[in-house]
């Protein structure tokens, strides 16, 4: 058991709360720039960019990025997982908000 | 949707709990200060949990039982990413990381079952899996002995799992088996995503098509027919009953609204032309 290095669920708004920390965030991919960075929309509808994307064969429409917060609008990726083309961002966004407020004790 | 009470004596709950491990005492307060319920209501079926909750579960020092939110924990369901997979001849083990922490999961291999072998082959580092298993403590470390390890294919299940963890936590900690008055959790839209749309309140499925075009009176009348008491009535409602329940509209308006709803296929007449019932009932 190890809970010393959690990766909280975030959207763009909550990214600011975790500078330098490991977080996880589902993005709707807007475009892949080159083969190591991408830009996408967070579940609260804001653009962020992701650096050091591990080379993935192909990205689905929705991608989960686990990585370290570089700035308010940039993530440095560690793991990217394809979340398919049908992911409900509004439900996810509600989960993100609950996991960082009222029910934070269950998560981090 | 969640009518089955979590934490009550569900018949299925004891199926996997393994006879030897069931606490039989009905202590209300154990030595280490963990309050629990008396015997009989302790079997909890399958509890959805985060790894953080598992790590914080209180453990009875005398036997091998865990408590979360005052409830016995036997079988759990967790969801996360596979790391450090190790395959041996008798078992496969890995660390499951759900973003709140990591826990060791072990699955014994029968060796005979080809379906089982296929499942294990599908387990690779970085894959999201849903694990059903038994929580236990071994040499002071908590781990999960899995009955089932299944890759996640629809990732709305990730959202769903954590919402369910919140719901069950609320259910067990606040309500103790009574109806939960928590915040309404809109469950993720399995297989029918509404990408980007505003979170919508639950509406009866067949209202969505015409809801926008109904006037106030028609909506009010329709909602009267959709009330549980109206749905359960054999003969439905009399026009006068409907009119009485929505003051402020004339009987003529109510009649017109009913005619509209009949034409839309939302209600139908029952024993005579004055009684109507929802087609949902």
**In this structure, are residues B193 and A87 in contact, taking their beta carbons and an 8 Å threshold?**
yes
Higher pLDDT, A58 or A12: A12
Pairing of strands A74-82, A47-51: parallel
Would you call A11 helix, strand, or coil by DSSP? coil
**How far off is chain A from B52, nearest CA to CA, in Å?**
6
At residue B212, the pLDDT reads: 55
Instruction: Summarize pLDDT for B89-104 with one digit per residue, the tens.
Output: 888 999 999 999 999 9
Residue B115 dihedral angles phi and psi, to the nearest 5°: -60, -40
| Of B26-30, B61-65, B183-187, the least confident | B26-30
Pairing of strands B267-269, A74-82: unpaired
Measured CA distances, A103 to A95, B53, B169 (Å): 10, 11, 9
- Classify the C-alpha dihedral A92-A93-A98-A99 as positive or negative: positive
At residue B138, the pLDDT reads: 85
Token output for B129: 């899996």
DSSP secondary structure, chain B, as one string = ---SPTTS--GGGGTTS-GGG------SB-TTS-B-PPTTS----EEE--HHHHHH-EE-SSSS-EEETTEEE-EEEEEEEEEEEEE-SSEEEEEEE-SS-EEEEEEE--SS-HHHHHHHHT--TT-EEEEEEEEEEETTEEEEEEEEEEE--STHHHHHHHHHHHHHHHIIIIITTSPP-SPPPPPP-TT---TTPPPPPP--GGGTTTGGG--HHHHHHHHHHHSHHHHH-SS-EEHHHHHHHSTTS-HHHHHHHHHHHHHTTSEEE-SSTTEEEETT-
Look at residue A44 and tell me whether its pLDDT is greater than 60.
yes
A91·B162 Cβ contact <8 A: no
At residue B44, the pLDDT reads: 66
pTM: 0.64
Diameter over CA atoms, chain A: 40
At residue B6, the pLDDT reads: 57
B12-175 is classed CATH 2.40.50.140: yes
A1·B100 Cβ contact <8 A: no
Q: How far apart are CA B37 and CA B58, in angstroms?
A: 14
What burial class does residue A31 get, using C-beta atoms within 10 Å of its C-beta: 0-12 exposed, 13-18 middle, 19+ buried? Answer: exposed
All CATH 1.10.10.10 domain ranges in chain B, comma separated: 216-278
Higher pLDDT, B18 or A9: A9
Instruction: Summarize pLDDT for A90-104 with one digit per residue, the tens.
Output: 999 999 999 999 999
Residue A94 dihedral angles phi and psi, to the nearest 5°: -65, -40
Mutate to test the interface with A, among B155, B170, B196 (most CBs of A within 10 A): B155
CA-nearest residue to B167 within chain A is A103
All CATH 2.40.50.140 domain ranges in chain B, comma separated: 12-175
Mean per-residue pLDDT of chain A: 92
Q: How sure is the predictor about B16, in pLDDT bands with cuts at 50, 70 and 90?
A: very low
Look at residue B280 and tell me whether its pLDDT is greater than 90.
no
- Which structural domains are found in chain A, ordered by start? 12-107 (2.40.50.140)
Would you call B224 helix, strand, or coil by DSSP? helix
Look at residue A89 and tell me whether its pLDDT is greater than 90.
yes
B169·A9 Cβ contact <8 A: no
Token output for A93: 């966004």
String of b and e for B172-184 (b: at least 16 CB within 10 Å)?
A: beeeeeeebeeee
A108·B52 Cβ contact <8 A: yes
Cβ contacts of residue B46 below 8 Å, gap of 6+? B13, B75, B76, B77, B132
Q: How sure is the predictor about B194, in pLDDT bands with cuts at 50, 70 and 90?
A: very low
Mean pLDDT of B129-151: 92
Mean pLDDT of B100-125: 85
CATH of domain B216-278: 1.10.10.10
At residue B72, the pLDDT reads: 87
**Residue A11 sits at the chain B interface (C-beta within 8 Å):** no
Crossing angle (nearest 10°) for helices A89-99 and B156-170: 40
- Of B211, B213, B186, B219, which Cα lies nearest the Cα of B201? B186
At residue B264, the pLDDT reads: 86
- Of B158, B126, B102, which Cα lies nearest the Cα of A62? B158
Q: How sure is the predictor about B21, in pLDDT bands with cuts at 50, 70 and 90?
A: very low
Residues of chain A with Cβ-Cβ distance to B101 below 8 Å are 1-4, 6
CA-nearest residue to A24 within chain B is B99
At residue B33, the pLDDT reads: 42
Mean pLDDT of A6-30: 95
At residue B42, the pLDDT reads: 52
DSSP letter assigned to residue B21 = G
Q: How sure is the predictor about B183, in pLDDT bands with cuts at 50, 70 and 90?
A: very low
Higher pLDDT, B118 or A27: A27
Residue B144 dihedral angles phi and psi, to the nearest 5°: -115, 130
Residues in chain B whose Cβ is within 8 Å of chain A: 50-55, 81, 99-104, 126, 128, 141-142, 154-156, 158-159, 162-163, 165-166, 169, 183, 185-189, 191, 193-199
Look at residue B159 and tell me whether its pLDDT is greater than 50.
yes
Residues of chain B with Cβ-Cβ distance to A1 below 8 Å are 51, 54-55, 101-104, 141-142
- For chain B, the first-to-last Cα distance in angstroms comes to 17
Instruction: Summarize pLDDT for B249-270 with one digit per residue, the tens.
Output: 888 888 999 998 888 888 998 9
Highest mean pLDDT among B79-88, B168-177, B225-234: B79-88
At residue B127, the pLDDT reads: 94
């Amino acid at each position: 058991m190890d809970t010393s290095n959690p990766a909280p669920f975030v959207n763009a708004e909550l990214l600011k709360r975790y500078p330098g920390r490991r977080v996880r965030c589902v993005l709707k991919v807007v475009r892949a720039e080159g083969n190591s960075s991408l830009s996408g929309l967070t579940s609260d509808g804001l653009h962020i960019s992701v650096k050091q994307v591990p080379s993935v064969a192909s990205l689905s429409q929705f991608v989960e990025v686990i990585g370290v917060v570089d700035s308010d609008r940039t993530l440095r990726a560690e793991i990217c997982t394809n979340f398919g083309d049908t992911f409900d961002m509004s439900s996810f966004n509600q989960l993100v908000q609950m996991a960082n407020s009222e029910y934070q004790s269950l998560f981090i | 949707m969640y009518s089955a009470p979590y934490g009550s004596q569900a018949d299925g709950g004891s199926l996997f709990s393994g006879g030897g491990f069931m606490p039989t005492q009905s202590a209300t307060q154990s030595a280490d200060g963990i309050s629990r319920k008396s015997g009989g209501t302790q079997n909890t079926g399958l509890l959805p949990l985060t790894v953080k909750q598992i790590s914080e579960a209180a453990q009875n020092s005398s036997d091998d039982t865990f408590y979360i939110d005052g409830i016995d924990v036997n079988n759990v369901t967790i969801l996360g990413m596979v790391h450090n997979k190790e395959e041996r001849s008798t078992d496969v083990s890995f660390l499951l990381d759900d973003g709140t922490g990591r826990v060791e999961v072990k699955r014994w291999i029968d060796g005979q079952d080809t379906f089982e072998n296929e499942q294990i082959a599908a387990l690779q580092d970085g894959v999201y899996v849903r694990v059903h298993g038994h929580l236990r403590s071994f040499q002071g470390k908590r781990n999960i002995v899995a009955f089932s390890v299944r890759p996640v294919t629809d990732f709305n299940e990730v959202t769903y799992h954590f919402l369910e963890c919140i719901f069950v936590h609320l259910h067990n900690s606040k309500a103790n088996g009574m109806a939960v008055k928590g915040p309404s959790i809109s469950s993720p839209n399995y297989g029918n995503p509404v990408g980007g749309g505003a979170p919508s309140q639950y509406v009866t499925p067949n209202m969505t098509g015409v809801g926008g075009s109904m006037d106030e009176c028609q909506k009010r009348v329709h909602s009267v027919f959709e009330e549980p008491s109206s749905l359960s009535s054999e003969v439905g409602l009399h026009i006068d009953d409907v009119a009485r329940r929505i003051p402020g509209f004339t009987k003529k308006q109510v009649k017109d609204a009913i005619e509209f709803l009949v034409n839309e296929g939302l209600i139908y007449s029952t024993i005579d032309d004055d009684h109507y019932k929802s087609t949902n009932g």
